[in-house]
Amino acid sequence: MTLESLEKLTDEELVQVGARTAELLKQRDTDRKNKALEQVRQMREKANAEERALLASVGLGPKAATQKKRHAAGKKRSRRTDTKPATASAARKAG
């Protein structure tokens, strides 16, 4: 349809063309959004598969990625807040 052919249409036909144009634009917008959402789903699936493969390569399961960080040999770190040497000999060495 050209601009010249639009000029030949009646008012009623122009209203119908306008309505159809709006429907087509809305459908195309919906299609673009659905396509983008599908691409995001595929990207997430691929990332999840890569994550599982990486964890499996070092002998870990999927839950390991969500657990808290482990300390060496399973021991908790001591949190020493005082600044004084623990023993008298250490005090002599420091002083």
pLDDT digits (tens, 9 = 90+) for 18-70: 999 999 999 999 999 999 999 999 999 999 999 999 999 999 998 888 887 76
Q: Where are the domains of the chain?
A: 9-59
Q: What is the pLDDT of residue 26?
A: 98
Report d(CA 61, CA 70) in Å as an integer.
15
Please work out, in degrees rounded to the nearest 5, the angle formed at the alpha carbon of residue 66 by the alpha carbons of 65 and 70: 75
Q: What is the pLDDT of residue 48?
A: 93
pTM of structure: 0.55
